Structure 1
Amino acid sequence: MKPAKTIPAARQAYWLRAVQTAMACAAIATLAACGGGDDNNDNTPAGGVKLQVVSFGDSLSDVGTYAPVATANFGGGRFTTNPGQVWTQNVAQYYGDTLAAANTGGFGVPLQAASGFGYAQGGSRVTLQPGVGHATPGTANADFSQATTIPVNDQVSQYIASHGTFNANQLVLVNGGANDIFYNLTVAQATAAGIQAQVAAGTITPAQAATAGAAATTAATTAISQAAIDLATVVGRVVQAGATHVLVSNVPDIGGSPQGLASADKGATLSQVTQLFNGTLQGALQKAGLLSKVIYVDAYAWIDGVQANYQSNGFSVSNTGTACNLSAMIAAATKAGQPNPTAFGTSLFCSPQTYTVANADQTYMYADTVHPTTHLHALFSTFVEQQIAKAGLGK
């Protein structure tokens, strides 16, 4: 995983206090406005196959959990180049469905059930709270004062509690794991900082520091591996509850993202730990007899392939920049006196007026340091549809 010092402290905060002040909202609003995108994949159902899509996961699949606040104040709403869609929405449209959020709220608004089947929430880990961007335990109204980050396992529990079972006319999309990687890296970062402080104070020797550092690394990789095993268990719950069409996407190559490129080792460690998660997930699915029952999509290899040939895929910028002008968004929040302005540097609050350049949603691969643009989401949804067709469903 990426060395601790390369992960900004704001990463754990992620969207902390993102909507705390009206002044910050007004400042960002001078940059933000709603607009239109090109890649919304309005294809008719493939081969006449009409399916209801149900989605569980994190920000890559979140269709608008935090939209009530983000859209109203910034013109954002999803973790991409808004108002563009994410891949789960595109896939739903491809099979004749419309995917809406199952719950909406967060950032001071209590989470409320909605009518959709998009259960994925930005910041969610596989089974544990707090997720990335969730309030610190003990904070007033911690469940919704910031990001709600309901774990993927709990998302499935919510669906089963409301609907009982899945059916043969549904396509269930599952992703997760990236936030477990980010979370455990942040823990490792804090541990490493504490160790270095002890060395500087002379309370432990360099040898003791090395031992403690190795233990922290082991703890992080163990937790990440466990999250992968847990995700396989979540998939098992979905299958056991009657789902016959289940697609599982592994974690894309985080090391190849702008965040990875900015790290000390240019993303090498991040890529290695993402591979650890993905390998463990695939192995756990195989061990449980689930791999043959699901459509396993290798998002890691896919995005590496797109990045290696980014120009032929329609992009002018790969991982060397972001479609959203994050520095301008952060500067506006700083000028407004926002106590944590870096929390505004995410695609959740991005709209056409905060694009780095016009049409950036089509020419850049990444909206922010980790999230795909509208165009990259569209390409991924097409790839997913192809994998589904290869499995014998649709064409």
Structure 2
Amino acid sequence: MAVKWMRRTALVAAVASATLLAACGSSTTESAITPDRFIAFGDGLTDIGQKGTRYTVNNGSVNNWTLQLVSRYGKTLAPAASGGLSYATGNARTATKPDAAGNASTPTVTDQVSQYLAGGGTFGKSDIVLMNAGVSDVIAHMAAVTAGSMTPTQMVDASRQAGQALGQQVRRLVQAGAKYVVVTGTYDLGKTPWAKTIGREGLLSDASSRFNEGLLVEVVDLGANVLYIDTAYYVNLYVGTPGSYGFNNATTPVCISVDASNGIGIGAGQVNSALCTGSTLLANAAADAYVFADPVYLTPSAHRQLGNYAYDRLRARW
């Protein structure tokens, strides 16, 4: 029965993904949207400096996928902490506290949406919402398994539920008037240097997949307003054939910025790219030759290429 259920849900997720990727056909030069504003919610993958730095190499380059995407439209995006419209915050979980690093004050993605709406935030006819979650949820669940407070099966179930929770926030935005929501879940954390270090590649891959599945199933009927960006697919391309994307290393973090605290939720004394600059890299290493900045998060080049992929998907859809 369990195998049959997994097959059924995987099929539904695949159909949902195809629907959200292809709904409404392709745009044309005449019909393509010209965005007025971009508004963002999410975790460390989308955080553009809520606390001053980003979860990548902070070397002054365009180093976040959302910044790359909006730049393709000639627009800008700034953190909400600086008066901008990106509420994404590192380590934020979808709907649960504390965050991945154990901080109970970090706003969840649900909190971020509430903050925007409670502050009178509305959505214009050409506004585009960018949204992600999942990385921090899976990290927090893995920590619970390691601590013995959650079984691997419970971790996979909890990750799927977190994906559903993200889908519920997408629905909430659409109901609040958002006409264009670009959403992604997590990339496959089983492919990260972190997964290999702790020997949990299979469990982390399964949990990542189930998060994305939960998200897709939850929003399958929102195809008119929602575009799903398959970050897991694209990052898998980096890892599988790094040379095709200009990388020569897809297994080792390029940063050496060790954090004495549990900065990104994978334990104390680990490399944390939020502390990483162009001066804290492996000897003779070029940041853009690597896929991973730290054991979890991506380098600037990986972000830019992901942003270009998202832009191409968005242009093809709307």
Q: TM-score range by the shorter chain?
A: 0.7 to 0.9
**Counterpart in 2 of 1:89?**
67
1:251-266 aligned within 5 A: 251-265=186-200
Whether the 8 Å CA contact 1:81–1:373 is kept in 2: the answer is: yes
After superposition, the C-alpha distances for 1:213-262 in whole angstroms (9 at most, x for unaligned) are: xx833432332221111111000111111111110112101111111222
Residues 151-192 of structure 1 show CA distances to partners (whole Å, capped at 9, x for unaligned) of: 001101111112332112211001001211111221122126
Aligned mate of 2:123, from 166, 183, 189: 166
Q: TM-score, normalised by structure 2?
A: 0.82
Match of 2:248 in 1: 316
Tell me the secondary structure at the aligned position of residue 172 of structure 1: strand
Q: Deviations over 1:21-49 (max 9, x none)?
A: xxxxxxxxxxxxxxxxxxxxxxxxxx793
Counterpart CA distance in 2 for 1:94 and 1:218 is 42
- Runs of 4+ with >4 A deviation: none
- With over 3 angstroms needed to count, the CA separation of the structure-2 counterparts of 1:371 and 1:218, relative to structure 1, is same
Task: Write the deviation string for residues 115-155 of structure 1: whole angstroms up to 9, x where unpaired.
Answer: 100100000000111011243xxxxxx63xxxxx2100110
Q: Is the 8 A contact 1:282 1:291 kept in 2?
A: no
Deviations 1:331-368, CA, capped at 9 Å, x for gaps: xx69xxxxxx9456200000011011445221111000
SS in 2 for 1:318: coil
2: distance between equivalents of 1:343 and 1:116? 32
Q: Is the 8 A contact 2:35 2:128 kept in 1?
A: no
The answer as to whether partners of 2:95 and 2:109 remain within 8 angstroms in 1 is: yes
2:36 alignment counterpart: 51
**Displacement after TM superposition at 1:383 (Å):** 0.3
* Residue matched to 2:314: 388
Match of 2:286 among 351, 356, 360: 360
Tell me which residue corresponds to 1:279.
Answer: 213
1:79 counterpart (51, 55, 65): 55
Contact map agreement 2:152 2:203 (CA 8 A) in 1: no
SS at match of 2:125: coil
C-alpha distance in structure 1 between counterparts of 2:148 and 2:165, whole Å: 24
Q: Which amino acid aligns with 1:274?
A: S
Larger Rg: 1
Question: Which residue of 2 is the match for residue 179 of structure 1?
Answer: 136
1:223 match: 158
Alignment CA distance shift 1:132-1:48 (3 Å)? closer
* Equivalent runs, 1:222-241 vs 2, <5 Å: 222-241=157-176
Per the TM alignment, residue 292 of structure 1 is displaced from its structure 2 partner at its CA by 4.1
Q: Which amino acid aligns with 1:62?
A: D
1:242 to 2:177 alignment: yes
8 Å contact 1:92–1:99 — kept in the other structure?
yes
Shift of 1:280: 1.6
- Structure 1 gaps of 5+ residues are 1-46, 68-76, 104-113, 136-141, 144-148, 193-214, 335-340
Contact 1:88–1:173 under 8 Å retained in 2: yes
> Where do 1:1-395 residues align within 5 Å?
49-67=34-52, 77-83=53-59, 84=61, 85-103=63-81, 114-135=82-103, 143=105, 149-191=106-148, 216-265=151-200, 267-286=201-220, 289-319=221-251, 321-326=252-257, 329=258, 342-343=268-269, 345-358=271-284, 360-392=286-318
Match of 1:210 in 2: none
Q: Distance in 1 between matches of 2:240 and 2:310?
A: 19
Figure out how many residues of one structure are paired with residues of the other and give that number: 281
Gaps of 5+ in 2: 1-31, 262-266
The 1-side partners of 2:160 and 2:140 are apart by: 13
Offset of residue 378 of structure 1 = 0.6
Which SS does the other structure have where 2:183 is aligned? strand
Say whether the 8 Å CA contact 2:238–2:291 is kept in structure 1.
no
